[in-house]
Structure 1
Amino acid sequence: MAFDTNSDTMARDETYDLISSEKVDGTAVYNRDGERLGTVHHFMVGKRDGRVRYAVMSFGGLFGMGERYHPLPWDVLTYHTDKGGYMVDLDKDRLKEAPSYERGQEPTYDRTYGERVHGYYGVPY
């Protein structure tokens, strides 16, 4: 469905200010210089309020080997239609030092971890 160009499907998957998570998974993430950093792997959504808290970006690796996952606070991402992807004010060197984890080593998304992630990116928790 994410690749369907049928206008009826498009209307269900995307509006002016809403987009289906099906279409966001796999979307490229770029830095301000236009360098591709990775792709959106999945979201972390608040159970009670339904708000997207993090876009977890996959970065590095080859064919899933050595790939790391970086939770990006949703507020640090900006969608750019010309790129067809999200932009962050971050370079690869800074991303390498950011909070991240490997497959199978998912963190506990508790307050302490959230404050650490948000603090790294300089946005309020």
Structure 2
Amino acid sequence: MSSTLGTGASTEMELGADVIEASRVNGTRVYNTDGDNLGHIHDIVIGKRDGRVRYAIMSFGGFLGIGEDYHPLPWEVLKYDERQGGYVVGITIDQLKEAPRYGATAQPDWLDPAYGRRINDYYGVAYY
């Protein structure tokens, strides 16, 4: 892997196919398996102790940031698709409308294990 970090010339970095900077994940489009654009990655949630990405927070709906809902998606349900230049999740728009979510003015309780279990149960993924 080559890097220009530390040279002062640039903060650009050539990364391998299996790694990406968190700043580049934000804004990446999310599609379902039918190719429908569901939204984009708004943020990611990382375990403090183990450093594992737990959830991608997907922005869904709204217009110019108004009326958006945020859907925590377990990282394991997302697959990157090179052709689409985005992540793909096996969920329909109707299923997404029923999925766990929160509004722009709400803050989820990441410290509550029941909250994480509810998200993971909805997507059929084991809780940590």
Q: Tell me whether the two structures share a fold, i.e. TM-score over 0.5.
A: yes
Higher helix share: 1
Q: CA-atom RMSD, angstroms?
A: 1.1
**What is the rounded CA distance, in whole Å, between the counterparts of 1:42 and 1:25 in structure 2?**
6
**What is the rounded CA distance, in whole Å, between the counterparts of 1:44 and 1:124 in structure 2?**
16
**What is the rounded CA distance, in whole Å, between the counterparts of 2:124 and 2:17 in structure 1?**
28
Aligned to 2:122: 120
SS of structure 2 residue aligned to 1:9: coil
Larger radius of gyration: 2
Aligned to 1:111: 113
Report the alpha carbon displacement of residue 107 of structure 1 after superposing the two structures with TM: 1.1
How far does the alpha carbon of each residue in 1:28-48 deviate from its partner, in whole angstroms, 9 at most, with x for none? 000000110000000000000
SS of structure 2 residue aligned to 1:114: helix
Report the alpha carbon displacement of residue 99 of structure 1 after superposing the two structures with TM: 0.3
Report the alpha carbon displacement of residue 16 of structure 1 after superposing the two structures with TM: 2.1
Report the alpha carbon displacement of residue 104 of structure 1 after superposing the two structures with TM: 1.9
Report the alpha carbon displacement of residue 85 of structure 1 after superposing the two structures with TM: 0.3
1:1-125 counterparts in 2 under 5 A? 9-11=12-14, 14-109=15-110, 110-125=112-127
Query: What count of residue pairs does the alignment treat as equivalent?
Result: 116
Unaligned runs of 5+ in 1: 1-7
SS of structure 2 residue aligned to 1:41: strand
State the percentage of identical aligned residues. 53
**What is the rounded CA distance, in whole Å, between the counterparts of 2:91 and 2:108 in structure 1?**
22
Aligned to 2:8: none
Report the alpha carbon displacement of residue 10 of structure 1 after superposing the two structures with TM: 4.2
**What is the rounded CA distance, in whole Å, between the counterparts of 2:27 and 2:46 in structure 1?**
17
Aligned to 1:5: none
SS of structure 1 residue aligned to 2:55: strand
Unaligned runs of 5+ in 2: 1-10
Moved over 4 A (4+): none
